Amino acid sequence: MKKINQQQTIIFNFLIIFGLGLIICLLGGPLWADEAGTGIGIPNPLTIKNLPELLGRIADFIQTLAIALCLPFFLWGGVVIITSGGDPQKVKNGRNIIIFTMVGVIVAFLAKTMFSILETLFPTP
């Protein structure tokens, strides 16, 4: 009997899950394809009609989360520097916390900006 290794098991599980998902989508398509409300349907809880709108909401959420978390991380970095007691490694750790917090906030704002630019370049029909 041939021994099945871990990679073969992962591939097999992926194919089974993908196949089941495909069957559900193909057979269950008529259930949620009816937007007129005349048949059985699954309501859209997000009230999102297209992919750019979904990506915009995700970008807004990430930006809001970055804004909410930046102040505690700035404070934490400052506390690490203040309580370092002159230890150069702790001062460096506190400075790195502040620098990485600034980088994270900048990346979050750039992500939203890049999404807005792409949305302008490629408008939805």
Distance CA 125, CA 49 (A): 12
For residue 19, the model assigns a pLDDT of 80
Which tokens sit at 59? 């970008």
Q: Tokens standing for 57? A: 């909401």
pLDDT of residue 108: 86
- The pTM of the full predicted model, rounded to 2 decimals, is 0.56
Query: CA 104 to CA 111: how far, in whole Å?
Result: 10
* Cα torsion angle, 46, 51, 56, 61, sign: positive
Strand ranges (E), the chain:
none
- 10-residue averages of pLDDT along the chain (125 residues): 73 83 65 55 71 81 88 92 92 94 90 82 76
